[in-house]
Every structure is written in structure tokens, then in C-alpha cells.
Structure 1
Amino acid sequence: MIKDLRVRAAQPSDMPAIAAVLERCGLPVDELPRLVGEFHVALMESELVGCACAERFGDTAIVRSVAVLREWRDQGVASHLVNAVMMRARANGTRRAVLLTSSCPSYFARYGFSLIHASKLPTEVLESEEFQRLRNTSALCMCAMLS
């Protein structure tokens, strides 16, 4: 665990640094201008080292764009970010969080996520850019109840 790590809601001025982290982690940046207010960022001193987003659709939030720079991985940064976006979603009245992952299902299971068939999700979630982008991939759909 990193002693001096700070996690906070993203600000518009964080957009270039968030984009750099997403790009270095191989994640898309095309929706960042629309979603920057839904992100949380992790900072070490003044360096942005990670980010995560929870995009809300009614009573469901899609947890997405969880990214941590390689040199800061395995130190609890992603855990702090996932906890922050889920806490914010819960505080905003979101009942469930969903995500798509092709590489980390066991990681997200720690937060109460379990596999679910995507067809059980609301239409607006299935029609989201995130789900459309990953619909024909090997990504697994996972869900966690927040309330």
C-alpha cells in the first residue's frame, strides 16, 4: 500500500493526464471529454498514476477505464480507485455496478462482482458505447449489487 497516495474526483484540467494513462494502458480515450466528470484519479505527489470511471445509466453504473501505470501496479492503487467509483455510485443512488473484463474477473470478484449474462441488463446499458465496443469480444460481463 502506498502511504502518500491521494484519490479524488477528476477535474476537467486532469483530462490530458487521464488520456495519457489510458493510452499507456491500451484503453480508449475517445469518450474522455464526455466522461471526465465521472472519473476518479490517483495521484502520487503531483503525478497522476491511475484512473477509473463509473458511467451512470439510470440505476446502473458501468465501471470502466480502470487503469494504473505499470510502475505503480500491485500497490493498491486500483483498489482505491475501484472503491472510490463504487462509493460515489452508491452515494448517487445507483443500485448496481456492471463491467466488462477480458483479463481480470478474479480481481473484480473481490468487490462483489460475479458473472452475469449481459441480456439481464437494462437496454440503455447494452446500448452504451462501452458495451457496443466490446460486444463481439471475449469480455465477460460482471455485476455487483450496491444497495
Structure 2
Amino acid sequence: MIRDLRIRAAQPADAAAIGAVLERCGLPVDDLARLVGEFHVAVLESQIVGCACAELFGDSAIVRSVAVLREWRDQGIASHLVNAVMMRARANGSRRAVLLTSTCPSYFARYGFTLIHASKLPPEILESKEFQRMRNTSALCMCCELA
């Protein structure tokens, strides 16, 4: 891990910096204002270099918007962010985490995520903005038990 890297819960004032990271990584920012409080950020020398979110739906959490600026990748930052949002989801009562990915299924398998057919998920997950956005894409659905 990078020396002096801090992982912390996002604050409302972080919204613009999180948006910049998401945009640079090609991820959507349209519902960032609503979700900023669900994000964790990676801070290095007062700059946000990465972020991740766990959006809660009943006893499930959608892990989404995992992003690290290209110049800081492959140094364990995303791992710390994913661990942080999953720990927070677990602490808030989530029993499972789900996600959609079209590029990194093997990365998320490290955390216990396995492929699952989306039809096996609760209706509130399937009706979420994240799942609706990815409905007609090649994204894979993955699930991990948190309990």
C-alpha cells in the first residue's frame, strides 16, 4: 500500500472530486449528489485518487462506482476501497453484496463474489437505478454473502 494513503467515508464537500475521478474512469456521475454519503474515498496528499460506493437496499448492498485514477492503479487502493464499503454495508445490516461488471469479474472474485443470474436477486435490487442502467449491456451480475 502507498504510504500516507487514507481511506475514509466521503463527505458532501467531496462530491466534485469524486465526480472528477468517476468521469476520468468513464463511470456515470448522474446520481452522485444522491449517493455521496454512501461513498468511501482514497486520499493521498489531500487529493482524492479513488472512490467506491455501496448503495443499500434492504438487506442487500450494490457495490458500484469503484474507481482509481490510472496513475494510482495496481497499488492496492481499489482493494482497500472495496473492503471499506463492504465492511460498512455489513455494519449497516446488509447480508449480501451484489454488483455488475463488464470488465473485472476476476478482480471481484477475490472478495468472494460469484456469478449469479440477476433473476435470483430481490426486486428492489433489480429496480435500482444501477441495474436499470446496465439492463441491456453485457455486464455480469455477481453476488457475495456478507454474513
Instruction: Decide: shared fold, TM above 0.5.
Output: yes
Say whether 1:128 aligns with 2:135: no
**Is residue 54 of structure 2 the alignment partner of residue 50 of structure 1?**
no
Cα distance, 1:100 vs structure 2: 0.1
Which SS does the other structure have where 2:141 is aligned?
strand
CA distance in 2, matches of 1:119, 1:107: 23
Identity in percent = 83
Equivalent position amino acid for 1:39 in 2: F
Instruction: Indicate the RMSD between aligned Cα atoms, in angstroms.
Output: 0.4
Residue of structure 1 equivalent to 2:72:
72
Question: Which AA in structure 1 matches 2:15?
Answer: M
Listed as ranges, the matches of 1:73-92 within 5 Å are 73-92=73-92
Q: Secondary structure at the match of 2:37?
A: helix
Q: Per-residue CA shift, 1:56-78, capped at 9, x if unaligned? A: 00000000000000000000000
Deviation readout 1:13-56 (Å, 9 max, x if unpaired)? 00000000000000000000000000000000101000000000
Name the counterpart of 2:98: 98
Q: Secondary structure at the match of 2:41?
A: strand
1:60 aligns with 2:60: yes
TM-superposed CA distance for 1:4, in Å, is 1.1
**Secondary structure of 2:48 counterpart:** strand
TM-score after normalising by structure 2:
0.99
| CA–CA separation in structure 2 for the residues paired with 1:71 and 1:3 | 15
Distance in 2 separating the partners of 1:4 and 1:83: 18
Structure 2 counterpart of 1:18: 18
User: Any gaps of 5 or more consecutive residues in structure 1?
Assistant: none
Q: Secondary structure at the match of 2:83?
A: helix
Aligned residues: 147
Structure 2 unaligned blocks of 5 or more: none
2:45 and 2:11 mapped to 1: Cα distance?
16
Aligned AA for 2:133?
Answer: R
Partner amino acid, structure 2, of 1:122: P
Moved over 3 A (4+): none
Instruction: Write out per-residue CA displacement over residues 113-133 of structure 1, whole angstroms, 9 at most, x where no aligned residue.
Output: 000000000001000000000
The residue aligned with 2:29 is 29
Give the alignment's TM-score, normalised by structure 1. Answer: 0.99
